[in-house]
Amino acid sequence: DSGVTQTPKHLITATGQRVTLRCSPRSGDLSVYWYQQSLDQGLQFLIQYYNGEERAKGNILERFSAQQFPDLHSELNLSSLELGDSALYFCASSVRPSNQPQHFGDGTRLSIL
């Protein structure tokens, strides 16, 4: 058990809808990262937060947004969903933002019908 909690485990929705994925980092970790993993691609970095502030952005679509709250949990919001957004979404956390091992949750599997 990595200590990173993601909910829900599975999400099934339709095109055009909006969903929110939630992540609670390991106790003591201040940095949170979001990744997307689809069948034909590896883990793709989306966005990073550190102590409530956005720190780095990857290839995150404009339809996607995230935030980190004062209690350090994070939410990833996906809107105007398309079939191609079906994937596993992972959250990871680390103590500090730089060059630290990241510890991953077990992901949310998003299926768009």
Q: Which residues bind another protein (CB under 8 A)?
A: 2, 4, 33, 41-45, 48, 55-56, 58, 90, 92, 97-99, 101-107
Instruction: For residue 37, give the nearest of 94, 91, 101 by alpha carbon.
Output: 91
Helix (H) or strand (E) holding 12, with range, is: strand 10-13
Q: How many CB atoms lie within 10 A of CB 61?
A: 14
Q: Which two tokens stand for residue 109?
A: 């599997």
What minimum distance in Å lies between the beta carbon of 92 and another protein?
A: 8
Instruction: For residue 33, give the nearest of 96, 85, 112 by alpha carbon.
Output: 96
What minimum distance in Å lies between the beta carbon of 43 and another protein?
A: 4
Q: Which two tokens stand for residue 53?
A: 């502030």
What minimum distance in Å lies between the beta carbon of 90 and another protein?
A: 5
By beta-carbon proximity to another protein, the closer residue of 10 and 14 is 10
By beta-carbon proximity to another protein, the closer residue of 4 and 19 is 4
By beta-carbon proximity to another protein, the closer residue of 19 and 23 is 23
By beta-carbon proximity to another protein, the closer residue of 70 and 99 is 99
Contact predicate 97/48, CB 8 Å: yes
